[in-house]
Structure 1
Amino acid sequence: MSVTELLVVVGVDGSEPSLRAVDRASDEAALRGVPLRIVNACLWERYEGAALAHDLGEPVERALPQDLVRAAVRRAGTRHPDLKVTSEVIFEEPEYALVRESRDASALVTGTRGRGGMTEALLGSVSLTVAGHAHCPVIVVRGSHDNRARSGRHGRVVVGVGAKSTLDFAFAEATRRKVPVEAIRAWRCPAHESTDHPLPAGEPARLHEQQAVDVLEAALRDVPADAEVHRRTVEGPAGTVLAGASHHADLLVIGARRHPRHFGLQLGRVAHRVLHHSDCPVAIVPEEG
């Protein structure tokens, strides 16, 4: 089965962040021309949240998982009337269910449990686990303080330059949106090479910056000929640099290296930093270790 035939999957739990995730997933499915699958995975027969219960016009204690899924389906249909939407309630731990669902997906979309913004960022354990173990790219929706997903405001996809799979995903997303890609390579001068004397300190810094430029150019050598690319090298920790770049991005794409024999949390420090502090949705693309 080719990627173009796969689904876009979104996990919903009735919270406001999951409503934004439904909006984003609907947009992603419409852009790809594929069906949307809405999944609620939980261990309870009654729903605890308030956002979709409000949409249903029902008291929280009377809202069932089937009700919130139906409301999410209506929401997606309102946003994209021609979109094919399927749904399912799965009585299972959300992390396990969504990772399994990712096997048949071209992208999986989740929301965050935090309040949003750079200073109040908290990412839920479900999103972290799914982003670290999914079999497809995971888009974690961030960057809005209400329950509406925003369409592109900046006209740009930002990617942290890494493996080919990460770059391919970023350029495919940019092509669908008809926007340019900003490719960023962060670099740092190791502390033991620095000195208080400005002239000797400059040469090591220039060497490390040039190495970053060389890596960036090599990574972008095979990008589509018609793609619009803005290259940028920035001194600083990669997580901080990429989180800062999210201020002017509609989507931030990074890779997550997987270790097949390691069953713990798969995300490194850069991914953690970006997921907790990004000001826009973040796509985590699996990379083999």
Structure 2
Amino acid sequence: MDQPIVVGVDGSEQSLRAVDWGADEAALRGAPLRLVYASLWERYEGALIAQELHRPVDEVMARDVVGTAEERARRRRPGVPVTTDVLPDEPEYGLVRESRTARAVVLGCRGRSGLTEALLGSVSLTVAGHAHCPVIVLRGGHDDPERAGTGRIVLAVGEKPTGEAAVRFAAEEAALRELPLEAVRAWRRPSGPLPGHVPHDGDPERAALDTVEEALRDLPAGVVPVRHVVEGQTRDVLLDASRGAVLLVVGARRRHGRFGLQLGRVAHGVLHRADCAVAVVPEPD
């Protein structure tokens, strides 16, 4: 069975935009689309309809949510197979379980109680930090699936060894969307010798460029790479690179623990502040 693109839906405008992105992603990859509403039931006004249907109030709401999302996906990409499901579970746990058999998970983010959209919703942050597959988080109103034919894919190149999963995912996105791949690496000039630090001929910029070259050594044919090494803090450099980009791809390594991978400070920073969609790709140990 083909691994689906999973989209978490909740009826919000942000989640409907995630449906658009997920439908496009499924079409590009020749994959099915799976729309999931996961929530512990919440009451709402509409008991009369529920009585007529002989179904719980909250279940009627959930089915309405996934039904609307399904109609939107079929209108946008008529040829993509679509399935839906309603999970009586907390969204974080339900979507992480879905990620075990997904090709990617797509989420819209929204702050709570009218807070600024710069504050990432807890569901998006938790799923991005614990999923078993790449998670694409749409950042507020900055990203737009309609502009997928412009811009570029940005790959955050981290410390050695470079994450192969993130590189592979970024290269696939660039190839499928026919966009250039910009590999970005930040570097800092140390103020003094660091314990255990081996200087690279005294040139940290050269070392950064070599790291980028290593990351790009096995790119598939047809992917056009752009190398970009910048002096500065990693988070700030990546935020600058996200402007005008379609997608920023960052890797996240699994750490030993009870619940999958955890995000480092750089991933946290770009998820909260990036100017485009962000893909968090889990890297195996």
Q: TM-score range by the shorter chain?
A: 0.7 to 0.9
Query: For residue 135 of structure 1, what is the aligned residue in structure 2?
Result: 132
Equivalent AA in structure 1 for residue 175 of structure 2: T
CA distance in 2, matches of 1:178, 1:46: 45
The Cα shift of 1:63 comes to 6.4
The Cα shift of 1:261 comes to 2.8
Matched, 1:84 2:81: yes
Matched, 1:246 2:260: no
Query: For residue 185 of structure 1, what is the aligned residue in structure 2?
Result: 185
1:246–1:279: 8 Å Cα contact kept in structure 2? yes
- When structure 1 is superposed on structure 2, of 166-175 and 236-245 the one drifting more is 236-245
2:37 match: secondary structure: strand
1:128 match: secondary structure: helix
1:27 match: secondary structure: helix
Query: For residue 198 of structure 1, what is the aligned residue in structure 2?
Result: none
Matched, 1:286 2:282: yes
CA distance in 2, matches of 1:236, 1:226: 31
1:47–1:63: 8 Å Cα contact kept in structure 2? no
Query: For residue 56 of structure 1, what is the aligned residue in structure 2?
Result: none
Distance 1:180 1:145, change over 3 A: closer
Query: For residue 33 of structure 1, what is the aligned residue in structure 2?
Result: 30
The Cα shift of 1:155 comes to 2.9
Query: For residue 165 of structure 2, what is the aligned residue in structure 1?
Result: 165
CA distance in 2, matches of 1:231, 1:268: 23
Query: For residue 105 of structure 2, what is the aligned residue in structure 1?
Result: 108
Q: Which runs of 5+ in 1 are unaligned?
A: 49-59, 194-202
Distance 1:205 1:248, change over 3 A: farther
CA RMSD across the alignment: 2.7
CA distance in 1, matches of 2:218, 2:148: 26
Query: For residue 229 of structure 1, what is the aligned residue in structure 2?
Result: 225
1:191 match: secondary structure: coil
CA distance in 1, matches of 2:117, 2:263: 21
Equivalent AA in structure 2 for residue 102 of structure 1: S
1:165 match: secondary structure: helix
Query: For residue 120 of structure 2, what is the aligned residue in structure 1?
Result: 123
Q: Residue 9 of structure 1 is aligned with which of 6, 12, 20? A: 6
2:78 match: secondary structure: coil
Deviations 1:49-73 (A, max 9, x none): xxxxxxxxxxx99961110110000
1:46–1:62: 8 Å Cα contact kept in structure 2? no
1:109 match: secondary structure: strand
Distance 1:145 1:235, change over 3 A: closer
Deviations 1:151-188 (A, max 9, x none): 32633101012311110000001111111100111111
The Cα shift of 1:114 comes to 3.3
- When structure 1 is superposed on structure 2, of 25-34 and 261-270 the one drifting more is 261-270
Equivalent AA in structure 2 for residue 37 of structure 1: R
CA distance in 2, matches of 1:145, 1:226: 28
Query: For residue 62 of structure 2, what is the aligned residue in structure 1?
Result: 65
- When structure 1 is superposed on structure 2, of 171-180 and 154-163 the one drifting more is 154-163
CA distance in 2, matches of 1:234, 1:205: 18
CA distance in 2, matches of 1:261, 1:238: 26
- When structure 1 is superposed on structure 2, of 264-273 and 80-89 the one drifting more is 264-273
How does the TM-score come out when normalised to structure 2?
0.84
**How many residues are matched?**
263
1:159 match: secondary structure: strand
How does the TM-score come out when normalised to structure 1?
0.83
The Cα shift of 1:286 comes to 0.2
The Cα shift of 1:226 comes to 2.6
1:45–1:65: 8 Å Cα contact kept in structure 2? no
Q: Which runs of 5+ in 2 are unaligned?
A: 46-56, 194-198
Distance 1:10 1:120, change over 3 A: closer
Distance 1:19 1:231, change over 3 A: same
2:261–2:282: 8 Å Cα contact kept in structure 1? no
1:239–1:273: 8 Å Cα contact kept in structure 2? yes
2:37–2:85: 8 Å Cα contact kept in structure 1? yes
Matched, 1:212 2:218: no
The Cα shift of 1:47 comes to 5.7
